[in-house]
Chain A
Amino acid sequence: MNRQHLDDRRRHERTLELAATAVDFELTSAETGELEAQLAACPTCARRAAALRADASTLRLPLTLLPSPRVDDAVYAAIARQPARPQRLLLLVGAALLLLVALLGALAAGAYLLRSWETLPTTVVPLPTAPVAVVSPNANAPGVMIWNMSAANRIEVSTYRPAARNGLSGLFGVDTWPDPDRLAGTVINRQLLASPTGKLVAIAETDPRARTRIRVLTSKGAVVWSTESTNGVPALAWSADGSLLAVAFTPQPWFVVNFQADGSPNLSKYSPPTDVPLKLVGFSADGLRLLAYDGTGEAAPWESPYAIDLAGGTVARLDQFAGGPSGIAVSNTTTLSGLVDPVTGRVLDSGDLSGRQTNWSLRQGSMSTELGVPVSNAKASIQPRWADDGSIVVLETSLDNDPPSLNQKDPTLGLIRQPAAGAEPGEIVKVTWSYMGPYGTRCKGVLLDVRHGWALVGLSGIPSSDDAWLGYDTLSLVNLGAQSRSGLMNLDGLGKRDIHVAGLFQ
C-alpha cells in the first residue's frame, strides 16, 4: 500500500473517530473544523458520520417490554416485609421447627415423587427418614474453607471440619484492597481458593481497572508467593495433590506455581496462543497437563478442547476431553470444571425445561447422548455438577406458581447415576432426592462443589447472581453416599454472615 493510500486511510479513521466522539461530547473548535472539512470533502466519511448518528438514535428508541410477574412478586414481597436476621436464641427454636417440618416434608415429598414419576423408567429411592438437622460429625467428611469480610479492608479465613471438636476454626486475617464504591457496586473482584489439602490458599484480587494481585498463603497466614499484573481477572485451579497452582489470564500469561514440600515456590510460565484465547478448565488428574477450551465462542467447549503439556510447554488441540488420568482432576478451581465428567470426559450441556422434565445433552466431540431429568414442577431451576464417580448431582430450586405463592419451593438435592453400559439413552437409573428443609423465604441455592461423596450447597436469603457481592447465609454439606439416608450438616450456626467458600479440603 503506497503512502497516499495510507494517508487516506488514516484520515478516514480519524474522521470516524471525531464523528463518533461528537455524538456524546463537544469537540474543540480545531476538531470541529477538521471534522467539517473532511465531511465536506469525502462523501464516504459523510455517509458514515450520518450512520453513526443514526446508530445512536436507534439505540435511544425505547423497548416496550416488561419483566415477568415473578420479578414483580419478588420485589413487592421484599418491599412488604423486613428481612429479619434471627438471633442465636431464635436459631435454636427455628432448628427445632425445621426438624419437624423437614420430617413432614420428607414424607410428603416422597409421596409426591411416587405419584408424579410412576410412568417414567425410573427407580426412585424413598426419601430418607433421617433428621436433617446437624448430624454426628463424620470423620470422612471434607473440611470447608470459608471467608468473609471482617472490615472494609480485611478478610477472615476460617475452616469448618465436621470431625473436629469445635467445628469452626479461625485461621487468619489478611488485608485486602477496599472496594472503591461499594454502594454503587464498584467493588474488588475477590477469589479465594483453598488447595485440596487445606495447607495453602490462593487469594486473587482485581480492581475495576484490571490491576490484579495474587498471593498464596499458608494456613497460618504467611505469604509464600505473590505477584501483581494488569491482566484482569484470572482463572485459578489447584492440582489434585495440592502442590500445583495454575493462574490463567485470558489470553496470556499462564503460570503454574509448584509449591514444593518445604513450601517454597517454583514458577513456570506459559504463553498460550493469542489468536485462540483459551479458557482454563483445570489440571489433568495426573497433574501433567492443563486442560482448556477455545474461549472465542466460535465452537462449543466440548468441540474445542485443548491441553497444555506442562513439561514441554506444547499446546495440543484434542478431539475431545478424556476421562481417567488424562481427564479433569477433581479439585478446587474457579472454572467450569464441574461440568466435565472426570470419568469419561463428557461435557454436560444443560438444556430447556419441557413440562416437568429438563433435557440435557452429554456431549463429547461430535457425539451427544440425550438425558431427560424429571423435575418437581415446570418452573424449576436445576443446577447439575459431575461427581468424581461419574454420577450427576443436581440442586433444584423451584417456584410454586400453582396457585400463585410468594414462597419458593425449598432447594432439594438429587443424584443421578449414569445409565449402565448398553442401557437406553435417557433412562434414569436411580434418583435420590434429599430434602433440604424449608428455608422460609425466597432463597438462592448454589451447588458449590461435589467431592468424594459429599455435596456442598450455599444458600442465600436474598438472591444474588454474584456471590462475591453478598455471599451465603447457610452452607450445607450433604452426604450422598448412602442410598437410604443422607446426612446434612447446616453450617448456619457459625455466627458469620455473607460467607464465601474457598473450597473443600481433605
Chain B
Amino acid sequence: MTDLPESTAPDDAQPALARLRGGAHSDELALTALYEAHRAELFAFLLRMTRDREDAEDLLQEAFIRLIKEARAGRQPDAVRPWLYRVAANAAISRSRHGAVWSRLLPRLVDLREPVRPEGELLRAERETELHAALAELPPDGRAALLLAAQGFHGHEIAASIGRTEGATRTLLCRSRVQLRLVLESAEGRA
C-alpha cells in the first residue's frame, strides 16, 4: 500500500494553530511570532479608532494578512511595528471617509458591570470611557494622530502614517488635543 500524499486541504478537526506549529517553516514561525507580539496592541488602537469591535477585528485581520502578503513577496518591512500602525491607521481613516452605513451604538470599552472595584479604579475606568467617547467626536485624521502619539510614535512617524508633512502633523496634533479637551470640558459642564 502506498502512502497517500499529505492533504493540503484544511482539516476541519484540527485547529489551524496546532497544525501550523506542528509542521511550520521558519518564515511561518516568524510571521506567527510577529502576529502574537503585535495583535493585542494594534487591536486596542483600532478599537479606539473605530469604536466598533467588528470593524476593528476586520481591520486588524487585513493589516496582518497584508503583512503576510508583502513578506511572501519578499517585501517585508524592516520596521514591522510602525508599518503595521501605518497600514492600520490608513485603513481606519479610509473606512471613516467612506462612511459607515448608519450610526451604531458605540461599544463601551470598559466593562463597568464588575461588582466590586476599588474606587480609584472605577473612577479611572469612567474617565477612560469619557475620554474615548470624546475621541469619537474628532475627525478620523486627528483621532489617528492622537492614538499614534499615545502608542509612542514620534511626529515624523505619525506624519508618515497619516500622509501629512511634519509641520501639518504638529498643527493637527495640537488642534486635536485642544479639541478633545474642549469636548471633555463641555461634557463636564453638561454633567
Contacts and interface: CB of A to CB of B under 8 A. Distances in A.
B13 A24 contact: no
Contacts of A355: none
A25 B170 contact: yes
Contacts of B58: 463, 465
Interface in A44-68: 48, 51-52, 55-56, 58-68
Nearest to A77: B16
Contacts of B59: 465
B187 interface: no
B102 A58 contact: no
Nearest to A400: B12
A63 B110 CA distance: 9
A208 B140 CA distance: 13
A99 interface: no
B133 interface: no
B58 to A, nearest CB: 5
B81 interface: no
A25 B149 CA distance: 11
Interface in B1-59: 8, 10, 12-13, 15-17, 19-20, 24, 28, 31-32, 35, 39-41, 43-44, 47-48, 53, 55-59
Interface string B155-181: 100001111100000100111011011
Nearest to B145: A24
A305 to B, nearest CB: 13
| Interface residues on chain A, size class | 35 or more
A81 B7 CA distance: 12
Contacts of B127: 58
Contacts of A405: 10, 12
Contact of B62 (A51, A70, A403, A464): A464
Given A79-B28, A466-B91, A466-B95, A404 B161 contact: no
B62 A463 contact: yes
A350 B57 contact: no
A336 interface: yes
B31 A79 contact: yes
Interface in B111-154: 124, 127-128, 131, 135, 146-147, 149-152
Contacts of B80: none
Contact of A184 (B48, B86, B128, B170): B86
A421 interface: no
Contacts of B83: 183-184
A21 B170 contact: yes
Contacts of B77: 183
A407 B16 CA distance: 11
Given A21-B174, A186-B163, A67 B56 contact: yes
A151 interface: no
A464 B151 CA distance: 25
A481 interface: no
A120 B76 CA distance: 52
Given A76-B20, A79-B28, A466-B95, A209 B163 contact: yes
B10 A185 contact: no
A23 B102 CA distance: 35
A65 B111 CA distance: 11
Contacts of B147: 59
B190 interface: no
Nearest to A20: B177
A78 B101 CA distance: 29
Contacts of A466: 91, 94-95, 98
A278 B64 CA distance: 36
B181 to A, nearest CB: 6
A505 B103 CA distance: 31
Contacts of B98: 466
A71 interface: yes
Interface string B68-91: 111010010100000100110111
20 contacts: A16-B181, A20-B174, A20-B178, A23-B149, A23-B177, A24-B177, A25-B155, A52-B181, A63-B109, A79-B28, A82-B72, A184-B87, A184-B90, A185-B86, A403-B12, A406-B10, A406-B12, A463-B58, A464-B62, A466-B91
Interface of A: 16-17, 20-21, 23-25, 48, 51-52, 55-56, 58-68, 70-83, 180-181, 183-187, 189, 208-209, 232-233, 279, 297, 300-301, 336, 339, 349-350, 403-407, 462-466, 468-469
